[in-house]
Amino acid sequence: MILSGNTLYGTTRYGGGSGNGTVFAVNNNGNGFTNLHSFTAVFSPNDTNSDGANPETGLIISGNTLCGTAYLGGTNGEGTVFSLTVPGPPLLTLILSGSNVILTWPTNTTGLTLQSTTNLVSSAFWITNSPEPVIVNGLNTVTNPISGIQEFFRLSQ
């Protein structure tokens, strides 16, 4: 398995829709298991397919791309290198609007809470932001008045 942020990614050699393995993700706290990909069945005479079958080595991650190898399948039926794009971290956007700061992030990211603090020391105390987000133009949106006190914001699981 490989860790990226709070997510562990791994493979199974067998299982999935056709029994030829999967790529999966799970949060490092054990929640949020997701099957990201089921490898397709291999077909005789040379056990070929387009995406490979039976992954057998570890994964590597570069940016939002997971890469690995599969024992069977591919063009000649002798295995292949595969890649899979995974979601990146959500982008938190801050916009100044008059005497307010408007914070937005995608609605397709679930289980996140907007938090704020007044300092970034290692013992910083993060509090859940109020008010709750509302959906505006397809984005989670929070409007906070500018209070004159410096604040830092983050999305936390």
Give the other-Cβ count within 10 Å of 113's Cβ: 13
Nearest CA-CA partner of 119 in 153, 142, 93:
153
Contact 113, 155 (CB under 8 A): yes
- Indicate the pTM of the whole model: 0.61
Contacts of 86 (CB under 8 A, 6+ apart): 4, 7, 9, 25, 36, 61, 64, 65, 66
Percent of residues, the chain, with pLDDT higher than 90? 50
**10 residue type, one letter:** G
Q: What are the extents of the domains in the chain?
A: 2-85, 93-156
N- to C-terminal Cα distance for the chain? 21
pLDDT digits (tens, 9 = 90+) for 94-128: 999 999 999 999 887 777 889 999 999 888 899 99
User: Counting Cβ atoms within 10 Å, is residue 54 exposed (0-12), middle (13-18) or buried (19+)?
Assistant: buried
Residue 45 has pLDDT above 70, yes or no: no
Reported confidence tier of residue 28, pLDDT bands at 50, 70, 90: confident
